[in-house]
Copies of this chain bind each other. A is one copy, B any other.
Amino acid sequence: MTHFFDADFKLGVLGGGQLGRMLIEAGGPLNIWFSMLDPAADAPCAHIAHEFVQGSFDDYETVLAFGRDKSVITVEIEHVSVPALKQLKKQGKWVYPSPEILEIVQDKGQQKQFFENHGIPTSKFELFDSGSEALQSFGTPCVLKLRKGGYDGRGVMVIKDTHSALPLFDTPVVAEEKVDILKELSVIVSRNASGQTSVFPSVEMYFNSEANLVELLFSPANISPHQEQQAQELGLRVAEAFNLVGIMAVEMFLTPEGTLLVNEVAPRPHNSGHHSIEANITSQYQQHLRALLNLPPGDTALRTPAAMANLLGAKGHDGPVFYQGLEQALATTGVFVHLYGKSHTKPFRKMGHITALANTSEEACAKAQTAARAISVRSSR
């Protein structure tokens, strides 16, 4: 058996964005050798991976060739070539998460069916061949989601009534009941090949409706101990249902009636776990590595309440990046700045994030927002 510290051990990652970057950072203390595959020559991992291969993670031949000399293969994005991963698995490679999980998750229709088939609470839904068909049959208000290809809120539409004059998706969609949402939560779970699991304290998320991105999140979530326990148990149930090896973010809605509904899952490190780098005893990134390498899971406990705010490219700025106001953020106790190494900024592009630690979630949120507002991600001075 190959150990991660052996000279010939190679971890291959499909995708080389900020999640991959923070995975590399987490692997540093364990001296894990990383190779990343990404189409962008200036991807966040390009200059920090041990090996960087420029190419498409969605292309069968490219992924197959990439995987050839790797000991373990994982992903930091879901939109990868599942057939290539199935082939690599057949060849005896360790592919985590399994291609089967990725196949389900890539299709929001299959994902919802999976939840239904495994008794995982989720909102009512139906599958349709197009948005207009859904609108006719499903009724409003509803949420339409592209079955494939959406990300970061792209490919999601909230339809208020049948008179909505929105240009509708003309490809297969999931129509979902528009449930009342009291809170949006995320629970990160891990499981290794030996079946050892872990679950992180839940995270509460606020979305920026203009950018349709997580604007602010904090942990612990402001829910009762009973709800916290239920959320963690539900997260673990989902991981077990998927027979997961790796890490998974389980996004949930908490309804005003106190019901938890699973919205969707991501079988990889997730935006809602960035704060764990400083806030939890073990970060989501190290936990993912531990799961991949069949090492025991680390303690997920929060060391202190925390909040995370994304640093998005300023509106109207498109070009080589300049960060204004970093000094102020860096001078604030308990504020941690993460820049992703993207040389080019665009409006709402995720360029970095801020984590703030404090004695309470509220204080941490205020600190993270103040720090994030002090920083302006611009394309000129």
Contacts and interface: CB of A to CB of B under 8 A. Distances in A.
A221 B7 CA distance: 39
Contact of A29 (B25, B295, B301): B25
A334 B280 CA distance: 10
A30 B29 CA distance: 18
A373 interface: no
A225 to B, nearest CB: 21
Nearest to A303: B303
The CB with the most chain B CB atoms within 10 A, among A24, A50, A330, is that of: A330
A339 B25 contact: no
Contacts of A195: none
A29 B331 contact: no
A5 interface: yes
A213 interface: no
B281 A31 contact: no
Interface string A105-124: 00000000000000000000
Interface in A162-214: none
The CB with the most chain B CB atoms within 10 A, among A50, A331, A340, is that of: A331
Nearest to A21: B28
A102 to B, nearest CB: 27
Contacts of A295: 326-327, 330
Interface in A291-340: 295-296, 298-299, 301, 303-304, 320-323, 326-327, 330-331, 333-334, 336-340
B50 A50 contact: no
The CB with the most chain B CB atoms within 10 A, among A30, A299, A321, A336, is that of: A30
A44 B341 CA distance: 23
Given A5-B321, A25-B29, A296-B327, 18 more contacts: A5-B323, A7-B343, A21-B28, A24-B28, A25-B25, A29-B336, A29-B338, A30-B337, A31-B340, A33-B47, A281-B333, A290-B330, A295-B327, A296-B330, A298-B333, A299-B334, A301-B333, A303-B304
